[in-house]
Chains A and B, each alone.
Chain A
Amino acid sequence: MNALLQGDHASAPTSFQALIIALTLAYLFGQLIAWVYVFTHSGVSYSRSFVVSLIVLPVLVALVLIVMANNLITAFGLIAVFAVVRFRNVLRDTLDTCYVLAVIILGTACGTQKFSSAIVGALAVSGLFVFLWMTASGTRHRFDLILNLRWTRPASELGAVTKLLTRHSLRVHIANQNFGKGTEAANLSYRVLLRDPARAAELLSELAELPGVDRVASVQAADESEI
């Protein structure tokens, strides 16, 4: 372990305790700002990958400043490399930019012979990317299925549908209710998070058998609905 932590060639020895604290604090602040963004965001331009970038960027910035270690020449080199990559590639996704920045930082760390920082940084950044992917970070509304049905009985009896949905779902959200004029029939749209996605067909058949339910249709609602 000591050998791993002694691979930095620099004018001052790297404090790995400080490095770990810096990266962890950067993650904490990034995550905090990302949550604030998620809860306060309004409008239609919400992007999950942007939220992930908000978490990753502080960690990358902390790592780049540790690698640069007050060295102006390294800083210029890093900016120049990033500019060259950016000049020849149109990076539309913020997360793609983060990945490019991450590899440039790790390359800079290796090039400036801060090998230990590069190893610790690579593990930390890769681990963070995997963790954020695994936890689907930035997702606001997560449902498995969008259910559309026509309810022909009085609205006061809708509890039967809700009970059936609750039997199969962990979470139910009414997305749309459309009551016709002069008739009791209504078009309803639900978003449901299923208890067992493998038994979605069972839910549909039970709904179809329920008196008052007509024309049941379902659409898969994948996580990718929020890019």
Chain B
Amino acid sequence: MNIVLRLAWRNLWRHSRRTWLTIGAMVFSNTLLVFMISLQFGMYALMVDNTLKVFTGHMQVQAPGYNDDQKMRQVVPDVAGLAASLRESLGSDEIAARGWAFGLASSAERSYGIGIYGVEPDFEPRVSSIPGLVTEGRFFTDTNDPAIVVGAVLARNLRATIGDEITLLGTGVDGSFAAAVVTIVGIFDSSVVDLDRSIALMPLGAFQDVFFMNGAGHQVVLFADSLSAVGTLRREVEGLLPDGDDLVVHDWDALQPGLKQAIQADISSAFFMYAILVILVAFSVLNTQLMSVLERTREFGIVMALGLRAGRLGRLVMLETALMGFIGLILGAIGGALVTSWFTANGLSFPGMQEMAAQFNLPARVYPSVSFLSALLGPLVVFLFTLLAAAYPALRLHKVRIVDAMRTN
């Protein structure tokens, strides 16, 4: 072993209690950081996933302005044709066309205003979780069926069930009066009350008939292979859009601006807390290293008199700190990974979480999982700040006056 390294190692254990306490502060913070960061990133991924797979998708092709105003006449012409050609050119099936309209749905007893999606029976299940949540009846088979799938709360409020007929009243794409009678073929239960209360699906062909769409729709929904592939896919899609039509592609961030911002707001408040933890650890290290330098003033004076330069001693102090920080890093990362793994197996839940989670489309129990990044990110930052904190005591050595130092008691 290198002599400086050995020296540093021995110096650390001169006051083993103090060293362990300082390492303890690091391990505590690191464990907490690893766990919290794993939990956070896991929740964000779930939040994005669960929110986007309801209706939004990773991106949508729309008419300009539709994203803000959602007006009937802001249409994508020949929407099914566009979706089909995109599916072919991109070789992906996770692409589907949709129309959206507002209408008044009336059963024999009740009337409610609802949002109606016209969807492609074959492809909607690939881009939305709703078809999979049909708990009673079935999803559509034929695109021209005068059929409707409604949310569970809506069905209950309408006092209607499978096989009942519903009257739809609304405004067609040209502003004319649109009306139709459709049969309930399925009921979905997403357990998000707002969705279950106010949304219904129709086959795209029938939807276009009722609202005089003339083959048009309002959006083509696409999913990329992963969130990180969204940018690439978006550029590809933009290149594939027909030249004549004035269409735009919005990614999920533009479609659901609240989602990314909620995450950002959460990240910034979390980072404030992490920063405080890191600073407190840095103070702890600063204190320890300052002590260890001060109590060795005499010793340092002697070795400097023997010809050792202050810079070399400073490196020794930094090396001691680095060794200490390294032990803290390893133990903390392991500790954090263990804690997280326990929750990976058992799930994490606390009172009140269910209601909070529902607000963000999250399950009531989350299972954080530790990754290489989440296990090392926090501890590495702590390690850096540890070294930074030791800089002051190390630089202080340059001011030591040898004769005075040797006389210190």
A and B held together in a complex:
no
Chain B residues engaging chain A, CB cutoff 8 angstroms: none
Chain A residues engaging chain B, CB cutoff 8 angstroms: none
